[in-house]
Structures are given as structure tokens and as C-alpha cells.
Amino acid sequence: MSLHVSWDRYNTLIERLALVVHESGYEFDQIICIARGGLRVGDVLSRIYDMPLAILSTHSYAAEAGTVRGELVIAEHMTMTSPTLGSRVLLVDDMVDSGHTLAMVVAELPKRHPHIVALRSAVLWWKACSVFRPDFHVDYLPDNPWIHQPFEIYDRMRPQDLKARLAG
């Protein structure tokens, strides 16, 4: 089973996530997004909350066009514009699939940044097969579909393909 998501639906999900977090009352002073999937989510939440955004890159889906999980690598450093990382963190990603990435990042962040006093996670989709339960989510998916996100068209597109695509 698979779920195909349009840009309109994707953007609405991000807005709904922002509202879910807001209505929870969780107060945070830093948003960290997990790249790549959480980049768009983190960007929009950072804008809505007028909050600094830090980017933490991870990589695990490498084999077979990104459908097979490999060893998780968490970047040693984060990219951020503020001089220091906040102490009350909202960690965002697009989804929690297997849950391994979020579980490892949630365990690793306080070790690397002991000044963190609160850390909550927020995702658009939470799949039932996950070993990790996010603090905030928009859609719970009990049947664990493969999610086709609107930006995935670029995974196989190369610069030489653009002329034909843009011509129409």
C-alpha cells in the first residue's frame, strides 16, 4: 500500500503540525530539523514560530533508491545561525517510519549538548511499525504505507531532464 501526497496536502500537514504543537503548550526555544526529510517541515515551523532553526544531517536510506535502511550516520555538527543551541528543543522530521533515526537522535542530542533540559519530537506521519513514538504527530498510519512525497520527483531527475520537463 502507498500514500501519494500532493504539495497542497503536504503544506497543510505542516500547518496542522504547527497547530498541534502550539495547542500542546510545549514551550521551546530551538527547532532542530533532521535533514533531509525534516528540512521543509523545520523551515516552515521556524517561520511560523519565528524561532531559530538548526539542521542536523543524518543518513541511512541508501540502497535501492532509498528504500532499504543502512547504518545510521548522525553528523558530528549542526548548522545553525544562533551562536548557541537552545535548551528547550523541538526536534522535527517528516515521518517516523522504522523509528530508528528519531530514537538515536533523541538519545544522542542530550549527550552531545548536556545543557538541553527539554526535548520533544514532532512529525507529520507516525507509522505503526515504528519502534519510536513521537511526542507530536498529525497522521497516525496503522497500515504502514510507503509515502510518496511531492518532492520525490527530484530523486531521479537530473539537470539534463529539466528542459523536457519545463517544456511541458
pLDDT digits (tens, 9 = 90+) for 135-165: 999 999 999 999 999 999 988 999 998 988 8
Residue 45: closest CA among 71, 79, 68, 11: 11
Which domains does the chain possess?
2-167 (3.40.50.2020)
- Which residue numbers in the chain have pLDDT < 50? 65-66
For the whole model, what pTM was predicted?
Answer: 0.88
- For residue 40, how many other CB atoms are within 10 A of its CB? 19
> Which pLDDT does position 63 carry in this prediction?
52
CB 121 within 8 A of CB 87: no
SS3 148: strand
> Which pLDDT does position 59 carry in this prediction?
81
What does each C-alpha distance from 161 to 105, 114, 120, 128 come to in angstroms? 36, 47, 40, 37
Q: Is the dihedral of CA 43, 79, 54, 94 positive or negative?
A: positive
